[in-house]
């Protein structure tokens, strides 16, 4: 009897690990806490107790699943549909592993069961085969769900629930017959139905997760485009304001010059000189050779000065007319915004941003450098692990380490948008962080 107790405990332990792995895979907002181990413990204890101390197994599995679900709801704040989907996935692959093991064993052994102390058990070889299939399926689902990380929606839960309830019916029927000691408990047709439904479940799940992944990507793209259009509209408005201010400035400059040279009082001429000196600062902005880029750099330079950041730019875009205004906004606006945010976290004396851009042979080179906080090894590993899961992989190497916006999705658009734009022109966008300095470099071939 002790051999079968050990085998049963091993089987229950594998199922418990499967519960933990499956539910975690569907819960994108999980936190690494010990409380996540309590629901699997409830599952293990309930299954073990029911197997060895209760004869009627009619309501065994439904009771186990309800108690496990309740335990997850008590110790976590995850959505119910994510927990239910995880439990269903675990049950389906466990049933499939059992059905495969029993079907194959029926072709190998004349008898798959033995009777010990009046109780019917599967032969140890069948248990081993069941364990192997269970491990294989668990690894498959773990790998699959890791690739398509995230939860599931209500419509998809209903779709996979149909497969779950279909497979549960023959599985529960065979389980009751087996534990009641019936010698003719095995039914190859029921086993094949369970295997077929399990395959259908996998196909549905693959389709659903791929659909949800593509839909999420589409939403990300829409948000990215909307953000870029918003930036572009902002700089267009700034350009119109700038043109109006220039017209007013030139008129005012001429009027003050006439007033200064007029035969008015000394006080009047002194006031005119002071006013003209004040508005002369308007001319002290960076001229890049591109009117639209002038607006962007002027706007960012003003923001940097407000935050007491030493901002310097050496940009010569004279004749660089192949880059669209929207793309100029993406390349320079996002890069300088991220640099400003990184600089705000530093002492005032360390706040420095340098921007250099211009033609270098057959390329347009854009270089942005700024000081940033040193990154601890632990924080670096955590940032890398978090960013690799989403579409912000390109951003993870840079801005993800130097800013802490609450909305990581929107924040990820910064570097990733710049990379997309660089690729649009056949160029590259690379980032590097070392010794408290962050460097972003863009190279675009001149057509």
- Cα dihedral 336, 341, 346, 352 in deg (nearest 10): 10
- CATH number 3.40.50.620 given to 286-445: no
Q: CA–CA separation, 42 vs 36, rounded Å?
A: 11
Q: Could you read off the pLDDT of 75-99 as tens digits, one per residue?
A: 888 888 889 988 998 999 999 999 9
Reported for 47-52, long-range contacts at CB under 8 A and 24+ positions apart, including other chains, are 47/12, 47/15, 47/16, 48/8, 48/9, 48/12, 51/8, 51/12, 52/5, 52/8
pLDDT (average), residues 254-270: 63
Q: Does 294 have pLDDT greater than 90?
A: no
Q: pTM for this one?
A: 0.52
Q: Does 272 have pLDDT greater than 70?
A: no
Q: Could you read off the pLDDT of 347-383 as tens digits, one per residue?
A: 999 999 999 999 988 999 999 999 988 764 434 443 4
pLDDT of residue 288: 87
Query: Which 3-state string (H, E, C) describes the chain?
Result: CHHHHHHHHHHHHHHHHHHHHHHHHHCCCCCCCHHHHHHHHHHHHHHHHHHHHCCCCCCHHHHHHHHHHHHHHHHCCCCHHHHHHHHHHHHHHHHHHHHHHHHHHHHHCCCCEEEECCEEEECHHHHHHHHHHHHHHHHHHHHHHHHCCCCCCHHHHHHHHHHHHHHHHHHHHHHHHHHCCCCCCCCHHHHHHHHHHHHHHHHHHHHHHHHHHHHHHHHHHHHHHHHHHHHHHHHHHHHHHHHHHHHHHHHHHHHHHHHHHCCCCHHHHHHHHHHHHHHHHHHCCCCCCCHHHHHHHHHHHHHHHHCCCEEEEEEECCCCCCCCHHHHHHHHHHHHHHHHHHHHCCCHHHCEEEEEEEEECCEEEEEEEEECCCCCHHHHHHHHHHHCCCCCHHHHCCHHHHCCCCCHHHHCHHHHHHHHHHHHCCCEEEEEEECCEEEEEEEEECC
pLDDT (average), residues 261-286: 62
Q: Could you read off the pLDDT of 312-334 as tens digits, one per residue?
A: 899 999 889 899 888 888 899 88
Q: Could you read off the pLDDT of 197-235 as tens digits, one per residue?
A: 888 888 888 888 777 777 777 777 777 677 767 777 776
Listed in order, the ranges of the chain carrying CATH 3.30.565.10 are: 286-445
Higher pLDDT, 407 or 421: 421
Higher pLDDT, 305 or 148: 305
Q: Could you read off the pLDDT of 242-259 as tens digits, one per residue?
A: 666 656 655 565 666 666
pLDDT of residue 244: 65
Q: Does 384 have pLDDT greater than 70?
A: no
Whole-angstrom Cα Rg for the chain: 33
């Amino acid at each position: 009897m002790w051999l079968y107790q050990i085998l049963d405990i091993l089987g229950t332990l594998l199922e418990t690990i499967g519960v933990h792995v499956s539910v975690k895979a569907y819960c994108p907002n999980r936190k690494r806490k010990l409380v996540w181990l309590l629901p699997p413990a409830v599952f293990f204890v309930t299954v073990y107790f029911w197997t060895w101390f209760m004869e009627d197994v009619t309501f065994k599995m439904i009771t186990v699943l309800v108690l496990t679900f309740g335990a997850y709801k008590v110790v976590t704040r995850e959505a119910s549909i994510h927990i239910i989907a995880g439990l269903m996935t675990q049950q389906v692959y466990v049933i499939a592993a059992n059905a495969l093991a029993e079907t194959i064993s029926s072709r190998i052994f004349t008898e798959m069961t033995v009777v010990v102390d009046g109780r019917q058990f599967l032969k140890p070889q069948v248990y081993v085969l069941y364990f192997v299939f269970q491990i294989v399926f668990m690894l498959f689902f773990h790998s699959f769900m890791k690739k398509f990380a995230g939860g599931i929606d209500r419509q998809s839960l209903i779709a996979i629930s149909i497969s779950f309830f279909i497979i549960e019916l023959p599985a529960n029927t065979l389980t009751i017959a087996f534990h009641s000691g019936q010698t003719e408990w095995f039914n190859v047709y029921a086993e094949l139905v369970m295997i077929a439904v399990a395959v259908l479940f996998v196909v549905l799940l693959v389709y659903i997760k791929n659909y949800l992944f593509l839909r999420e990507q589409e939403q990300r793209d829409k948000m990215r485009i909307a953000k870029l259009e918003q930036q572009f509209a902002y700089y267009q408005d700034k350009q119109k304001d700038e043109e109006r201010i220039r017209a007013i400035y030139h008129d005012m400059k001429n009027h003050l010059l006439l007033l200064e040279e007029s035969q008015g009082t000394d006080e009047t001429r002194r006031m005119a000189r002071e006013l003209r000196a004040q508005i002369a600062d308007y001319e002290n902005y960076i001229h890049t050779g591109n009117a639209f880029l002038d607006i962007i750099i002027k706007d960012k330079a003003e923001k940097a000065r407000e935050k007491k950041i030493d901002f310097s730019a050496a940009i010569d875009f004279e004749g660089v007319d192949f880059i669209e205004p929207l793309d100029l906004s993406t390349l320079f606006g996002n890069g300088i915004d991220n640099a400003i945010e990184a600089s705000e976290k530093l002492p005032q004396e360390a706040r420095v941003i340098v921007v250099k851009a211009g033609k270098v042979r057959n390329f347009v080179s854009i270089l942005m450098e700024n000081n940033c906080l040193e990154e601890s090894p632990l924080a670096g590993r955590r940032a890398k692990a978090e960013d690799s899961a989403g579409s912000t992989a390109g951003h993870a190497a840079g801005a993800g380490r130097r800013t802490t916006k609450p909305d990581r999705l929107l924040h990820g658009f910064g570097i990733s948008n710049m990379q997309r734009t660089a690729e649009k022109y056949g160029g590259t966008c690379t980032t590097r962080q070392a010794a408290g300095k962050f460097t972003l470099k863009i190279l675009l071939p001149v057509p």
